């Protein structure tokens, strides 16, 4: 049960680190008038940003040996 709790905590932390910056970038572009009426473009941009931040986190974990959110048990 302890391992499950630690895995769930890691999941929530990773989702927060990936989705929160993506949402803020999405909100910034959504406020721009030239992108206001293009819903599909906004969803596509949001998905691309999620993968981009996931890739940045993967770079930190592999190349820089920085483990900011992983909890080992």
Does this model's pTM top 0.75? My answer is: no
Q: Which residue has the higher pLDDT, 35 or 20?
A: 20
Between the CA of residue 63 and those of 13, 15, 57, what are the distances in Å? Answer: 20, 21, 10
Mean pLDDT across the stretch 27-54? Answer: 70
Q: Check whether 70 has a pLDDT greater than 60.
A: no
CB-based contacts of 9, cutoff 8 Å, min separation 6:
71
């Amino acid at each position: 049960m302890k391992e499950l709790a630690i895995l769930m905590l890691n999941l929530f932390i990773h989702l927060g680190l990936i989705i929160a910056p993506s949402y803020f970038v999405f909100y910034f572009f959504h406020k721009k008038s030239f992108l206001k009426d293009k819903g599909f473009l906004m969803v596509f941009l949001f998905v691309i940003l999620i993968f981009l931040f996931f890739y940045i986190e993967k770079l930190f974990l592999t190349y820089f040996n920085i483990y900011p959110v992983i909890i080992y048990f």
